[in-house]
Structure 1
Amino acid sequence: MTQSVDFAMAAFAPALPLAVAYSGGADSSALLHACAQRWPGQVYAIHVHHGLQAAADGFAAHCRATCERLQVPLAVVQVDARPAPGDSPEDAARRRRYAALTEHALHAFDRPMASIALAQHADDQVETLLLALSRGAGLPGLAAMPRHWQRAGQDWHRPLLQVAGADVRQWLTDRGEGWVEDPSNSDLRYTRNRIRQQLLPVLEQVFPQFRDTFARSSQHAAQAQQVLAAQAQADLQTVGVPPQIKAVQALPPERQAHVLRQWLLQFHGATPSAAQLQELLRQIRHCTTRGHRIHIKVGCGFVVREGARLGWYNP
């Protein structure tokens, strides 16, 4: 069930001190104001300057002025978010943003941050689920965004994940607080923007409770994925790291797929496409002679045969 900002924040109990990812937009502005009000002196802000548009310097200036008024320490981090050839601009910017947040939450202030808060809300969750469906994603994609997870010894939170986007903006407006509008948010070349501007209003008319029902489906997918991940982790202990080819072949086909995904993601940060995974499984299935070769591109690297085991290299 969707919540108000105040209700969501009342249930938010992070370990302190807390870093807030602050873009200057409405969502992160509401999160920063609410956190600074609740934990004065314990909240810090990190603004990631992507340098991808002319308005970026203005965003940073707005964030500095707001944080000075709120007496919240601010770190402005400039990153090169330009995508590599063949890379998604959105994915490239997201990866560099998370890397910058992780690094600066540990080292930018007078003490490391125990927690990091992000401002995605219920509409963002719906957009993420719809994007996953449009790409034919499996359970990890359908699980959409988690509300809480751990990475590199830090707790990450999305406390507004059950608050509708319109309610976030209304909360700010009611308090007389402003924000900056990112011009790229209205660019319909981006699929996420088309979903937000064209599809969500139709869903609102046809299925008024879609935020709640979609969130429930994502929660079911996340629970099922946890069970599969636990099985894949157990299978990984059986096949070894790096995996023994014969041990992988001994597993049922479905578990072969999951254990390979687990190995690639956990140890190499790579997520194979459905086509890549099917080809890898095919090559493993036919690997019955000493001279049989395995060689397939996955993400930015390659899975290869190294004697009796699978190997990985990143050229």
Structure 2
Amino acid sequence: MTRPFEQAMAAFAPALPLGVAFSGGADSTALLLACAQRWPGQVVALHVHHGLQAAGDDFERHCYTVCAALGVPLWCQHVDARHAPGQSPEAAARHARYKAFEALALDNKAKSAIQTIAIAQHADDQIETLLLALSRGAGLPGLSAMAAQWQRAGLTYCRPLLQVSRVSLRAWLSAQGSSFIEDPSNTDERFTRNRIRAQLLPALQRCFPQFLDTFARSSRHAAQAQLVLQEVAEADLARVGAPPLLADLQTLRPARLANLLRHWLLTVHHTTPSTAQLEELMRQIAACQTRGHQLQLKVGQGFCVRRGKALDWYNPTLF
């Protein structure tokens, strides 16, 4: 009988050559090994040294050893992934990691024109992401959790193992007899994701044995609904203009207005309002009934303001 990991890999059909994000841990080791077996000579390992822990140099040496044994080139990028005050450590590391992948692909383009980068996040990671989003009161984009495929900076990113459990992945890796490293930060329960992994997932497994499948299904439903809302927002923005006319915004019902404002702020100005900011912005838009009524509200790192008949956003630090 074909195991879930093998089924997922059989269904994975990336454009080649392929880059595999490789930390040296169990998940990325399994993905790299499977890809190297399936597409010999067409796979490159990408390792990011985050500069966050003393063991980072040991992780890098381990990755070179594994790749040498597999006959797979290893490209390594050193970054400073320390988070700024008020920034999530996980978000800072993620941002640094993707910038490093882009740099590696560009710097080594002459050697191998990578088109696709595969990442080894799996079903347990997906549920952890969903639970984190729920704990923060996220909307549909957060409840959609992680996408199986997306585009960024001219590269296609894939997560082929999102429907494979951690248990299934490690069972396959154990059968291969391959070594891997354990990152001690993954068991540090000061981080919310690690507390979810250590405390909440086992409790959910006891109460709802099929929760990996059912929760993931809910995330897929949320992702589908978010695509519809995005299409509605795109149509509404085309109608009200960019910057949007206040009179046209005032014709929209509250839920549709909120959807449009989030879309406009994110896609045009790359900022995301808090719930309180969005509600106050909608209140001020409704109040702009006369020519002299002004509007100014801090949203994200900038301000929403009234400019004539339209709503605009600006960041004073950019001027």
**Fold shared, TM-score > 0.5 on shorter chain:** yes
What is the TM-score of this pair, normalised by structure 1?
0.94
Partner of 1:86: 86
Q: CA deviation at 1:309?
A: 2.4
Partner of 1:20: 20
Are 1:148 and 1:156, in contact at CA under 8 Å, matched by a contact in 2?
A: yes
Change in Cα spacing, 1:171 to 1:241, as seen in structure 2 (3 Å) is same
Q: CA deviation at 1:97?
A: 1.3
Change in Cα spacing, 1:274 to 1:178, as seen in structure 2 (3 Å) is same
What is the TM-score of this pair, normalised by structure 2?
0.93
Change in Cα spacing, 1:179 to 1:262, as seen in structure 2 (3 Å) is same
SS of 1:272's partner is coil
Partner of 1:254: 255
Specify the code of the residue in structure 1 equivalent to 2:82: R
Partner of 1:200: 201
Q: CA deviation at 1:124?
A: 0.5
Partner of 1:40: 40
Change in Cα spacing, 1:312 to 1:72, as seen in structure 2 (3 Å) is farther
Q: CA deviation at 1:308?
A: 2.6
Partner of 2:312: 311
SS of 1:296's partner is strand
Partner of 2:180: 179
SS of 1:155's partner is strand
Equivalent-residue separation in structure 2 for 1:160 and 1:151 (angstroms): 19
Are 1:105 and 1:116, in contact at CA under 8 Å, matched by a contact in 2?
A: no
Equivalent-residue separation in structure 1 for 2:100 and 2:248 (angstroms): 39
Specify the code of the residue in structure 1 equivalent to 2:100: A
SS of 2:112's partner is coil
Q: CA deviation at 1:290?
A: 3.5
Specify the code of the residue in structure 1 equivalent to 2:80: D
Please give the per-residue CA displacement for 1:247-279, whole angstroms capped at 9, x wherever unaligned.
222222111111111112212322222122112
Specify the code of the residue in structure 1 equivalent to 2:95: R
Partner of 1:9: 9
Partner of 1:98: 98
Of stretches 187-196 and 258-267 in structure 1, the one that deviates more from structure 2 is 258-267
Q: CA deviation at 1:204?
A: 1.1
Partner of 1:214: 215
Identity %: 62
SS of 2:24's partner is coil
Change in Cα spacing, 1:168 to 1:278, as seen in structure 2 (3 Å) is same
SS of 2:213's partner is helix
Are 1:26 and 1:169, in contact at CA under 8 Å, matched by a contact in 2?
A: yes
Unaligned runs of 5+ in 1: none
Please give the per-residue CA displacement for 1:166-202, whole angstroms capped at 9, x wherever unaligned.
2212211111111111111111111100010111111
Equivalent-residue separation in structure 1 for 2:290 and 2:45 (angstroms): 57
Please give the per-residue CA displacement for 1:116-150, whole angstroms capped at 9, x wherever unaligned.
11111000011111111111111111111111122
Q: CA deviation at 1:237?
A: 0.8
Equivalent-residue separation in structure 2 for 1:301 and 1:71 (angstroms): 50
**In the comparison of the two structures, how many residue pairs are matched?**
314
Please give the per-residue CA displacement for 1:221-264, whole angstroms capped at 9, x wherever unaligned.
11111111110111111121222222222222111111111112
Please give the per-residue CA displacement for 1:30-69, whole angstroms capped at 9, x wherever unaligned.
1111111111111112111110111111111111121122
Specify the code of the residue in structure 1 equivalent to 2:227: Q
Equivalent-residue separation in structure 1 for 2:52 and 2:276 (angstroms): 32
Unaligned runs of 5+ in 2: none
